[in-house]
Structure 1
Amino acid sequence: MDTSQPLVMTLPARPSRDEVNRLCARLGAAPPGEVVCEVGALGGADLAAVDALARLKLAAGRRGHRIRFEGAGPELRALLLLTGVAETLGL
């Protein structure tokens, strides 16, 4: 795998726990490096989305990745601020 390019992942509109587990496994299989996770497809700003982002952030950190979330809409950003995790997630 070319580690000079970031690993790019896309979070689906309504990620199930299994889908998030698969993305976390993908992080585990990749050598440590930069990860870009596109979250613009998330269908709504709800606590399931917050949970998915937090789980990906934790999994990335545990495996030595630097993860960056891109494309968060205003509703998701507002919810992340309200829940107190926006800064932790870098949003």
Structure 2
Amino acid sequence: MSSGAPHGHPNVNPKTPPDLTLTGTLDREATQRLCEEVRATLQATDADVLVCDVADLGPPVLAAIDALARLQLTARRAGGRIRLRNPAPDLRELLHLVGLPIEIEMGRRTEEREPPRRVQEAVEARDPPLA
């Protein structure tokens, strides 16, 4: 007699990743404390992702980028990675500019969604060329 199939999708991890909230300005002391917290959380939960809520993080300056890079490195050394939740557009742009490969959660609240983009219609053969 065989048992039924297990519940849920076999490739989906049912565990919710642990959260860490980053607030204010991140100086060296705060960064060292957060690195220890990242390491301890990943090891204690056996998670491979730690979600960092950065909605209340100070202005996106290079010190914040340095702190996020150190947190990512610490997470990698502990066998995981970090993912950012609620980054400000300026922070996303600065991360892109410096080339720091940190995941960003794409889920948005309904009121933050962008309006749908206009659909470009097909060009007709009789349309004049664009200047």
TM-score by length of 1: 0.83
Q: Distance in 1 between matches of 2:51 and 2:97?
A: 23
Q: Distance in 2 between matches of 1:65 and 1:11?
A: 18
Aligned length: 86
Q: CA deviation at 1:42?
A: 1.4
Match of 1:43 among 17, 38, 58: 58
1:19-69 CA deviation, whole Å, 9 max, x = no partner?
Answer: 111111112223231211111111211101111111100000100123211
Q: Please identify runs of 4+ aligned residues in structure 1 that moved more than 3 A.
A: none
Q: Distance in 2 between matches of 1:39 and 1:78?
A: 14
Q: Distance in 1 between matches of 2:17 and 2:98?
A: 28
Q: Distance in 2 between matches of 1:43 and 1:66?
A: 22
- Structure with more contact order per residue of length (Cα contacts < 8 Å, sep ≥ 6): 1
Match of 1:53 among 60, 68, 73: 68
Alignment-mate amino acid for residue 63 of structure 1: A
Return the index of the structure with the highest Cα Rg.
2
The equivalent residue for 2:34 is: 23
Gaps of 5+ in 2: 1-14, 105-131
Counterpart secondary structure, 1:64: coil
More helix by share: 1
Q: Distance in 2 between matches of 1:52 and 1:60?
A: 12
Counterpart secondary structure, 2:87: coil
RMSD: 1.4
Indicate the percent of aligned positions where both proteins have the same amino acid: 42
Q: Distance in 1 between matches of 2:37 and 2:23?
A: 15
Gaps of 5+ in 1: none
Is 1:90 the counterpart of 2:103 in the alignment? yes
Match of 2:19 among 1, 4, 8: 8
